[in-house]
Structure 1
């Protein structure tokens, strides 16, 4: 059993409990098959999810997600990666104003060689001001 599958199984059991269901294969099989439009799962198949032996396909993961009202990425990866991304995005949103946003939009419209020149100028300024360490030439 890999760590990813074991973590998925733990998150699946927790999500079932949070939704008011007992994390047992018979319950999972019944509730899942009532909601999934594809090929039904067997008792053995859902037991393997709960034991961390296998992971569901994308379509089955989406059914689980909708039923248990948990984002699919939270079932697969947990909430840690999403929270880190949200924190990084919040820091980015708070740190720049409309002038910088306009500048970044212009930067993204530049052709690749011009973008490279702008990056080199920014890195050179950062090194000169002690914000960054010199980088090896590409």
Structure 2
């Protein structure tokens, strides 16, 4: 088992427990798919994440981090600080109200999240007018 993948699976299991979930593939599978807008993942994929056999892609990692209220950077890399030039992870740069807003956003059903994204995009287009 790859040490990096094993370390990720430990952090994922710990984050799940702290968020009130049991670190089991079935529970992870259900929770993840209820928050992810893309194609659902199988219980086998969730098992691979929890058993140190795979690390999810960045889009899935972002959903996992939001679901379990941890920073995506921490979930992926642990306590390692960013190297010079990597910049500060966006999650760290957010204020507490912004993080709460993101948690609320991630709890919305996919159709409502799409509407919120469209609203934010429309508001962004009007910037500077």
* Counterpart for residue 29 of structure 2: 29
TM-score w.r.t. the length of structure 2 is 0.62
Larger RCO, structure (CA 8 Å, separation 6 or more): 2
Residues 1-138 of structure 1 aligned to structure 2 (within 5 Å): 1-81=1-81
**Structure 1: distance between partners of 2:35 and 2:73:** 19
Deviation string 1:17-42 (CA, Å, 9 cap, x unpaired) is: 00010000000000000000001010
Deviations 1:63-102 (A, max 9, x none): 00111111111011112426x99xxxxxxxxxxxxxxxxx
Q: Quick check: which one's helix share is greater?
A: 1
RMSD, matched Cα? 1.5
Q: Distance in 1 between matches of 2:37 and 2:80?
A: 31
> Number of residue pairs matched?
84
Corresponding residue of 1:132:
none
Larger radius of gyration: 1
* Partner Cα distance (2:17, 2:80) in 1: 20
Higher mean displacement: 73-82 or 46-55: 73-82
Give TM-score, length-normalised by structure 1.
0.58
* Distance in structure 2 (CA, Å) of the matches to 1:12 and 1:43: 15
